[in-house]
Amino acid sequence: AVAAARDADALVCNLFAMPPVYHLSERLEVPWMCCSPCLVPYSMPPGFEQGFAETMPELFAFLREQDTELAVPSEPPAFSWKTVCSWLWPVFTESHALLREELLGLAPVPGYAEEVGTDRDQFDAKTLRLGKFLLGVPPALLSAADPGRALPTDAKICGHWSPSLDVSASQRCSREYQELSAFLQNCEEQVQKGILKGRPFYVGFGSMGAEGLVPEVDKMIKILLDTGKWMGRPLVLMAPSSATFCKQELLEESIFWCQHAVPHGWLLPRCAVAIHHGGIGTVLAALRAQVPQLVLPLAYDQPFWASCVKDLNVGDSADLDHLSVVVLARKLQRLLRDEVRVNVRRVGEEVEMQAGTETAVKEIMAMAATAPLRCAQSGACLRPARPIHAFLEEDPDAALDVLGRSAGEVQFIYREILRERCYGDLNKLPADSIVVDGGLNLGLFSLILARQWKGPGTLTVLAFEPAKETFDLALANLRRNGVFVINHGQSLPSNSSGSTSGVTAGTAVVHCFQLALSDRDGRDQLCYFPYLTSSSTLARHRPAKDEAKSNGCFDRRLVDIFFADEKQEPIFTARLSSALTSVETAFPTLKDQPISLIKLDIEGAEEEALAGLEADTWPRVQRLAMEVHGGAALRRLQTALAPRAAALWVESQVQIPDHYMLYALAEQTAGCMVRQSVFSVQRFLGGTCK
């Protein structure tokens, strides 16, 4: 839903969708409006104000100052502490920080902006965006009560938005509708014959049963049934789904158990009293049907509507904790009096006349008419790439500033390479050799390698990244950090396509290819995840991502964001041997240089990539480090590499279930390094053979 709104010129939501819509309006810089048929059903939690003031003192002081200025009504209304307290406090809670940061690229808290190049945020009141609050309740219902903090002070009361409800054609054909119609007709006949004392009582609790908010369901239903029998009234019972009361009791001809919802506009006018939970929809439906109502409030704003009904003398309320047949019967008898019916008819007519749909539509259209027109984003991501500061607390000098979408993803990869040294001691790679960077992604591995390596000669890196957007970001990251880059795009060089003149000793030259390593030169399909680019994978490996989701490989709070805006795009593929041959043809000095490291992090395509390396090239390979997904793939790769490696070992990735790092060393690079510690990643690339 968030992604679908990317091209909106204005946003409209209800209270339950309000927090993400608020954040989205800030990201898109568009106006927004909250339309609610009920009062604010939540209140600020204890300690919220104190925590807010302590953690965000500048913002708190600003909002308090706006409260003072509101002593003189302003136009338009200001974003103040009162508005936060009454309905906007959820947008400042920690639970939305991940949505703001990971999906929308905003500061974690409204009222702040990211300070480029740092991990800090700075106060910026201009980012606050106050929306209009429309309440879909008729003024007649609010005339006897004060909603207090449950209604924003600048809210516009429109009147009800309830449609004219009737039974649909499909419902009329249902067996239950026909049985209910027959039941009601039979009740009328029995009333006329004096067998029953009047029309049935309606009993319904909406969604409360499904939400588990109806306490002691069976006990309550028993009281309702006994009350109906004592008063000589049939019941139409929309019982909570959690009820387990003996259905045999409900087979009596004076009781009808509804299994499916029936439109109130059709049913309630055929009932004497509506007994319900006090949801605003049922309150309005009973008033429009001009039926007295007995409210048994359970949660949310239901106690408030119960008091309104009682104060207007169009109904009454009762406490479930003290409910009994006697209490219930007395209240129902009072509601059947003529004075109550007169009030119900009067207020019901007022409510019917105070329809607010047209008013709400005018407000929405007025907002849309004044909203600035935006250009369609054409599938662009909601969160743009931005500068991200990657750092290690223990080594501030190693910090990097790169472009990316997810700070968490950048920091994770950065620390894998530098702190955990998952690819070994990169500064000890031999000079005048070739490194293969399979899975360039945002360029972090090649960038860190270029910064760390200071050998006597030069180092050549062949880096492969098939996704267009990620490839462009990698090029930008490498160049802005001073790395010598040769961009080959989607083709392999047939002649010198970039000069290396001026390259001095101790320099790494990175050849970038917008290609995927494969077992064939050709085309393929890539599933691209713009919010987690490192997980982008070939389309045939996409099912493994769903399996990884279920296995807990991804943070469950973020998994929906990670895979938002997923798309398939055509890509070009190349065999590693084809790339080596082409580069060596274009740059003859590279011919027959050792391949000091093949690094692969290509999301399930490792076997295909290694199959693209000719047998006569394998003797040049000295070291190999790759991420492997799943035990089955790991065993196949171990079997395939065993004849070619002097040492082969596995490290489990502790943070990611069923993911491994597989390492291989050739005969000429093993030696004493393996004898010291075969399983030590710290010694991978780090030893000296004598």
- What's the token pair of residue 548? 């990884």
Torsion angle defined by CA atoms of residues 588, 590, 592 and 594, in that order, rounded to the nearest 10 degrees: 180
Are 596 and 429 contacting, i.e. CB atoms less than 8 angstroms apart?
yes
Q: Is the pLDDT assigned to residue 680 strictly greater than 50?
A: no
Kindly report, residue by residue over 128-150, the tens digit of the pLDDT: 999 999 999 888 888 766 666 56
DSSP 250-317: GGSTTEEE-SS---HHHHGGG-SEEEE---HHHHHHHHHTT--EEE---STTHHHHHHHHHHTTSEEE
Q: Is the pLDDT assigned to residue 248 strictly greater than 60?
A: no
Category of 278 on φ-ψ map: left (φ > 0), alpha (ψ -120 to 50) or beta: left
Query: What count of other Cβ atoms lies within 10 Å of the Cβ of residue 561?
Result: 21
pLDDT at 152: 77
Higher pLDDT, 479 or 370: 479
pLDDT at 674: 33
Q: Is the pLDDT assigned to residue 566 strictly greater than 60?
A: yes
Measured CA to CA, the distance from residue 159 to residue 175 in angstroms comes to 36
Are 665 and 645 contacting, i.e. CB atoms less than 8 angstroms apart?
yes
- What's the token pair of residue 285? 């439906």
Kindly report, residue by residue over 152-207, the tens digit of the pLDDT: 777 888 888 877 656 666 666 677 778 888 888 988 888 888 888 889 999 988 87
User: In 3D, which of 137, 114, 143 has the Cα closest to residue 127?
Assistant: 114
Amino acid at 5: A
Are 644 and 598 contacting, i.e. CB atoms less than 8 angstroms apart?
no
Where along the chain do the CATH 3.40.50.150 domains lie? Answer: 388-523+573-669
Q: Is the pLDDT assigned to residue 606 strictly greater than 60?
A: yes
- What's the token pair of residue 48? 């919220």
Are 21 and 11 contacting, i.e. CB atoms less than 8 angstroms apart?
yes
pLDDT at 688: 32
Q: Is the pLDDT assigned to residue 117 strictly greater than 60?
A: no
Q: Is the pLDDT assigned to residue 116 strictly greater than 70?
A: no
Lowest mean pLDDT among 258-267, 350-359, 443-452, 531-540: 258-267
Measured CA to CA, the distance from residue 214 to residue 217 in angstroms comes to 6
128: CB partners within 8 A, 6+ apart: 79, 110, 111
Measured CA to CA, the distance from residue 553 to residue 555 in angstroms comes to 7
Measured CA to CA, the distance from residue 452 to residue 458 in angstroms comes to 13
421: CB partners within 8 A, 6+ apart: 681, 682, 684
Quote the mean pLDDT of the chain.
85
pLDDT at 118: 58
Q: Is the pLDDT assigned to residue 76 strictly greater than 80?
A: no
Matching residue, tokens 């101790």: 506
pTM of this structure: 0.67
Per DSSP, the chain holds a count of helices (H) and strands (E) of 24, 26
Matching residue, tokens 């085309």: 523
Where along the chain do the CATH 3.40.50.2000 domains lie? Answer: 169-353
What kind of fold does domain 169-353 have according to CATH?
Rossmann fold (3.40.50)
Measured CA to CA, the distance from residue 240 to residue 221 in angstroms comes to 9
Q: Is the pLDDT assigned to residue 1 strictly greater than 80?
A: no
Which architecture does CATH list for 388-523+573-669? 3-Layer(aba) Sandwich (3.40)
